[in-house]
A = this chain, B = another copy of it.
Amino acid sequence: MKEYYMNLAICQAKKAFKKGEVPIGAIIVKNGKIVSKAYNNREKSKNAINHAEIIAIKKACKKLHDWRLEGCEIYVTLQPCIMCFGAILNSRIKKIYYGAKDNKFLGSLSDSKYNCLNHNINIEGGILEKECELILKNFFKKIRKK
């Protein structure tokens, strides 16, 4: 099932790719049901906040009529940045599944259980890692050619 959801997140990343955005996708799932899907939209929206995870959280809060996304899990193609990691904590999502590793901020934190704020969060990386990496590599290769 993890691979199934990550594949859906990859489909979202591909949508971002087509629109010239850094191809990152996210899916929020609760009790096996998809709550929201989103892709990075920073360039087109000209908004520093609009990473895939943030948009997915925003949509999920709207759908569930609550800022607390208790019982939800997020699948994201790239390890979250510090902003998105914080947003995931703030929204009380219980587990992060990510695909490719990001060596910038949180690389050193991955694949462990943390005690942050007043709740536990569980992180599992490397789901369809190669596929998630490939789409990013292809994107940056295309960018550099231009």
A84: B residues at CB distance < 8 A: 83, 86
Residue of B nearest to A42 (CB): B67
- Count copies of this chain in the complex: 2
Interface size on A, residues (CB 8 A): 34
B87 touches A85 (CB 8 A): no
CB within 8 Å of B: which A79-129 residues: 81-87, 89-92, 104-105, 116-117
The listed residue (B49, B57, B67, B68) touching A87 by CB distance below 8 A is B49
16 further interface pairs, Cβ-Cβ under 8 Å (given A47-B62, A48-B90, A83-B86): A46-B61, A46-B65, A46-B67, A47-B58, A47-B67, A48-B67, A48-B92, A49-B54, A49-B58, A81-B86, A82-B85, A82-B86, A83-B84, A84-B86, A86-B86, A86-B105
Residue of B nearest to A50 (CB): B67
- Measured in the bound complex, the distance between the Cα atoms of B85 and A142 in whole Å is 31
- Measured in the bound complex, the distance between the Cα atoms of B88 and A49 in whole Å is 9
User: Min CB distance, A103 to chain B, in Å?
Assistant: 12
User: Min CB distance, A83 to chain B, in Å?
Assistant: 3
Residue of B nearest to A84 (CB): B86
A117 touches B90 (CB 8 A): no
Determine which residue in A66, A86, A116 has the highest number of CB atoms from chain B within 10 A of its CB, and name it: A86
- A69 on interface, CB distance cutoff 8 Å: yes
